């Protein structure tokens, strides 16, 4: 084999290794699992509403406030009363989660918000600079949460 082939093989090999490392850092490396038993909502009367949770599964990362995702079920909550007491979120747009976090389907949640199957509520305003926590609640008590930009940084 001549030296040109070795150079080509080395370039392809290094490119593949770099691509694998890039994929890993973007989809898995910085996420940490979360364990929460409560989550807050902004109340229409100005008082925070605390949600008791079960079957919670969540992820977050220190690298960006937008990496937060959560799936849960409400404990003994009357969903219609909760929705009436909480602040609705005017522009909820669920972000997509990593493929391995399979309890959270951002596209399905977004479709359910559009057709009225789920209700978007404001979890916490300015949980980080320019970022709000949004919570989607289903009538059966299932819930999903994510962080999204609130437009104050524009």
Query: What are the tens digits of pLDDT across the range 57-109?
Result: 999 988 889 999 999 999 877 888 888 999 999 899 999 998 889 999 999 99
pLDDT at position 24, please? Answer: 86
- Does residue 46 sit in the same domain as residue 83? yes
- Name the domain count of the chain: 2
- Does residue 1 sit in the same domain as residue 43? no
Q: Has residue 154 been placed in a domain?
A: no
- Does residue 5 sit in the same domain as residue 73? no
Asked if residues 31 and 67 have their Cβ atoms less than 8 Å apart, the reply is: yes
DSSP track, 111-136: HHHHHTSSEEEEEEEEEETTEEEEEE
| Res 124 pLDDT > 70 | yes
* Averaged pLDDT, 45-52: 90
Q: Has residue 112 been placed in a domain?
A: yes
pLDDT at position 1, please? Answer: 63
- Does residue 75 sit in the same domain as residue 135? yes
Closest CA to 89 of 152, 141, 52, 135: 135
- Does residue 26 sit in the same domain as residue 64? no
pLDDT at position 132, please? Answer: 94
* pTM of the entire predicted model: 0.84
| Res 41 pLDDT > 90 | yes
- Does residue 21 sit in the same domain as residue 89? no
- Does residue 64 sit in the same domain as residue 15? no
Asked if residues 37 and 52 have their Cβ atoms less than 8 Å apart, the reply is: yes
The CA distance from 144 to 132, in Å, is 14
Residues 131-149 have pLDDT tens digits of 999 999 999 999 999 999 9
- The rounded mean pLDDT for the chain is 91
Could you list the residue range(s) of the whole structural domain that residue 25 is in? 1-30
- Does residue 145 sit in the same domain as residue 128? yes
- Does residue 9 sit in the same domain as residue 72? no
59, two tokens: 């992820």
Q: Has residue 3 been placed in a domain?
A: yes
- Does residue 23 sit in the same domain as residue 48? no
């Amino acid at each position: 084999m001549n030296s040109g082939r070795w150079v080509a093989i080395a370039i392809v090999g290094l490119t593949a290794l770099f691509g694998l490392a890039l994929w890993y850092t973007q989809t898995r490396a910085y996420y940490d699992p979360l364990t929460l038993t409560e989550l807050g909502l902004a109340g229409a009367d100005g008082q925070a509403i605390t949600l008791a949770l079960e079957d919670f599964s969540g992820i977050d990362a220190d690298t960006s406030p937008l990496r937060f995702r959560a799936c849960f079920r409400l404990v003994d909550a009357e969903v219609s009363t909760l929705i009436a007491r909480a602040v609705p979120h005017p522009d909820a747009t669920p972000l997509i989660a990593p493929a391995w976090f399979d309890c959270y389907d951002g596209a399905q949640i977004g479709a359910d918000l559009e057709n009225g199957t789920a209700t978007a509520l404001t979890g916490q305003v300015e949980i980080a600079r320019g970022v709000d926590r949004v919570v989607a609640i289903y009538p059966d008590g299932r819930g999903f949460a994510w962080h999204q930009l609130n437009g104050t940084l524009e």
